[in-house]
Amino acid sequence: MSVQFKRKESATCAVRRIHRQIVEDALKCLKQRRQLDGIHGARKGIKKSRALLRLVRSEMDHGDYRNTVRALRDAAKRMADARDAHVRLQAFEKLAGHFKSKLRPRPFAQIKKALRKNCREETKRFWKGGTKSTERLLRKMLRRSKELKVNADGWRAICPGLKCSYDCGQKMYRTAGKNSAPENFHEWRKRVKDLWHQLRLLRPIWREEICAEEKELKILSDHLGDDHDLVMLKNFVAENGSKRIDAKQIQMLNRLIESRQNKLRVAALKFGSRFYAAKPTIFCKRLENYWQLWKREKK
């Protein structure tokens, strides 16, 4: 089955089918025992499902929406420590690779050792005690997927959610441009990811156009994601440095982090200025035209 909308399918049937497939895929990911890719894949699936539900939120029963999203959030939280530990290690390796020509061989040995140890411990902790409870939550959601209901149909079911995602992303782009606090860039990234997942669901309505916009959002999301990963890396080193990590290593690492973040944020704001140039109503009207043409096609 395709994780996309189908031309002849009602909104309720589409949401049930897509949500069910995403949760099934997340459960398959968790069967990859001892592999970080399994945790990463399951968390990505949860984000996809939350973006799907946000798309039709205005046309769902408030209690059904709240309970489903709460269960998804709880499942994601159980995997968060292991996933974050892996992300911090990846961010460190990517940063060291980016500045490779300016660093000595095997730089920041103490920091890398601490990151690797933390990654092993958190991963082991999850596979030992968190897997079963996470799987139970996902199976419960799988059983309840048939109870999800969208009260409207067609474009009317998804337009409010799509407009909200674009509007919130546009506002957070402007906020981040005025105030470079890490939480503003992180909040912007979450709204970018929501819209990216939602556009992927709409790919069939005009594949070339939607894929082009997806690509723009993916580049923007990657810039913002790399920035947030560096924030987590910096915080971890600050919290765990003390006597185990040389102060000079921490200072040098922080300088590299800040240098890289400046470039990532400048690039993200440049992409944002282009992508969010239109008003939310115009953005949605264009997609509505694609939707209506697609619905009238005979194939």
Name the β-bridge partners of 60. Answer: 150
Task: Let me know whether 58 and 119 are in one domain.
Answer: yes
Strands (E), 138-282: none
Which domain range does residue 296 map to? 154-299
Tell me which DSSP letter residue 150 carries.
Answer: B
Task: Let me know whether 245 and 220 are in one domain.
Answer: yes
Residue length of the chain: 299
Number of structural domains the chain divides into: 2
**Average pLDDT over all residues of the chain:** 93
Model confidence at 129: pLDDT above 90: no
The one-letter amino acid at 43: R
The pLDDT of residue 289 is 97
Could you tell me the CATH number of the domain that includes residue 146?
Answer: 1.40.20.10
Strands (E), 38-171: none
Name the β-bridge partners of 142. Answer: none
Structural domain contains residue 196 = yes
Question: The tokens of 130 are what?
Answer: 């968190």
- Pairwise CA distance, residues 83 & 96, whole Å: 20
Structural domain contains residue 187 = yes
Q: How many C-alpha atoms does 285 have within 13 Å on its Cβ side?
A: 5
Structural domain contains residue 2 = no
Structural domain contains residue 1 = no
192 and 176 in contact (C-beta within 8 Å)?
no
Model pLDDT for residues 51-83, shown as the tens digit of each residue? 999 999 999 999 999 999 999 999 999 999 999
Task: Let me know whether 104 and 173 are in one domain.
Answer: no
Task: Let me know whether 281 and 159 are in one domain.
Answer: yes
CA dihedral 190, 220, 228, 176 (to 10 degrees): -80
Q: How many C-alpha atoms does 205 have within 13 Å on its Cβ side?
A: 20
168 and 280 in contact (C-beta within 8 Å)?
no
Task: Let me know whether 143 and 221 are in one domain.
Answer: no
The pLDDT of residue 150 is 97
Task: Let me know whether 213 and 166 are in one domain.
Answer: yes
Task: Let me know whether 45 and 31 are in one domain.
Answer: yes
Task: Let me know whether 188 and 62 are in one domain.
Answer: no
Task: Let me know whether 139 and 159 are in one domain.
Answer: no
Task: Let me know whether 109 and 213 are in one domain.
Answer: no
Model pLDDT for residues 187-244, shown as the tens digit of each residue? 999 999 999 999 999 999 999 999 999 999 999 999 999 999 999 999 999 988 766 7
Structural domain contains residue 212 = yes
Structural domain contains residue 260 = yes
At residue 60, what are phi and psi to the nearest 5 degrees? -105, 155
- Among 135, 152, 169, give the residue marking a domain's end: 152
Task: Let me know whether 26 and 124 are in one domain.
Answer: yes
- Among 152, 187, 216, give the residue marking a domain's end: 152
Closest-CA residue to 83 (of 129, 118, 32): 118
Structural domain contains residue 269 = yes
Task: Let me know whether 193 and 141 are in one domain.
Answer: no
The pLDDT of residue 242 is 63
Structural domain contains residue 3 = no
Model confidence at 299: pLDDT above 70: no
The pLDDT of residue 2 is 63
For residue 130, name the pLDDT band (cuts at 50, 70, 90).
confident
CA-CA-CA-CA torsion sign (31, 34, 39, 40) = negative
- Among 113, 136, 152, give the residue marking a domain's end: 152
The pLDDT of residue 1 is 44
- Pairwise CA distance, residues 156 & 160, whole Å: 7
